Amino acid sequence: MTVAIGVVGCAGRMGRMAIQEVLATEGCVLAGGTEAPGDHVGSDLGPLVGVDAIGVTIGDDPIALFSSSDAVIDFTVPAATRIHASAAEETGTAFVVGTTGLGPEDQTAIESAAQNAPIVQAPNFSIGVNLLFALTKKVAAKLNPDYDIEILEMHHRHKVDAPSGTALGIGQAAAVGRAVPLDDVARYAREGQTGPRTTGEIGFATLRGGGVIGDHTVMFSNEAERLELTHKASSRGIFAGGAVRAALWLQGKKPGLYGMADVLGLD
């Protein structure tokens, strides 16, 4: 079976990586790509990723792309992802969501779409990062609350949201391991006279600079020892590869909201 995969935001950094991964993956064919009106629209997708023309052009109509695709990959921005979620809901097309920095309204749109389309949503599509999520959950469940949990992340200077979606995913995994809501225990910033650290708190620290693709560390510390789990990305290709894997996995799945843990069988 050949799976036709479309890419929204195809001219962006991750969009181009997704196109390259689709073209390189056996059993996949590129259904098309979309961009904002006037931005690369009408151009062939091949030269966009450094190859000869492939006879597939960039469009600006998400509904048309979703209608002609078996699955669509989205690494865009929240406002665009809301539009794409509506397209998935209308067409029932499998949808892979890698957009981060989503607000409640954006998440509601995705969950609504999942009633009519199978969707994989993840803060990070790297296989290694998703193993980090699973390990974090397990370690947090085994260590008692006198082990403080701190999450440190660093990304390139151009990243617009903080903490990263991956850092929030790590925090969520730790909170699930401890059976507490993340919103009740998260501490996103410290400045000035903060007082002693609160027991059970899950802290976040954010660094930005240079061209760092993504470094994440979760630390479990008490008075006697510290355990650190770290993942460092050296290529964005790992995210595109995971997204294509998710798109293939979604074929034949019932409508619903899935995660990479489902794709990888980690649960």
Asked if 47 and 58 count as a contact pair (C-beta separation under 8 A), the reply is no
DSSP designation for 238: H
How far is it, in rounded angstroms, from Cα 71 to Cα 105? 23
Active-site choice (84, 155, 216, 231): 155
Asked if 169 and 123 count as a contact pair (C-beta separation under 8 A), the reply is yes
Active-site choice (159, 231, 232, 254): 159
How far is it, in rounded angstroms, from Cα 88 to Cα 80? 12
Residues contacting residue 252 through CB under 8 Å, at least 6 positions apart? none
Is residue 232 among the annotated active site residues? no
Is residue 155 among the annotated active site residues? yes
The string over 146-170, giving b where at least 16 C-beta atoms fall within 10 Å of a residue's C-beta and e elsewhere, is ebbbbbbbbbeeebeebbbbbbbbb
Give the strand order in the sheet containing 94-97.
58-59, 28-34, 3-8, 71-74, 94-97, 118-121, 256-258
**φ and ψ of 139, to 5 deg:** -65, -45
How far is it, in rounded angstroms, from Cα 48 to Cα 20? 10
The catalytic residues are 155, 159
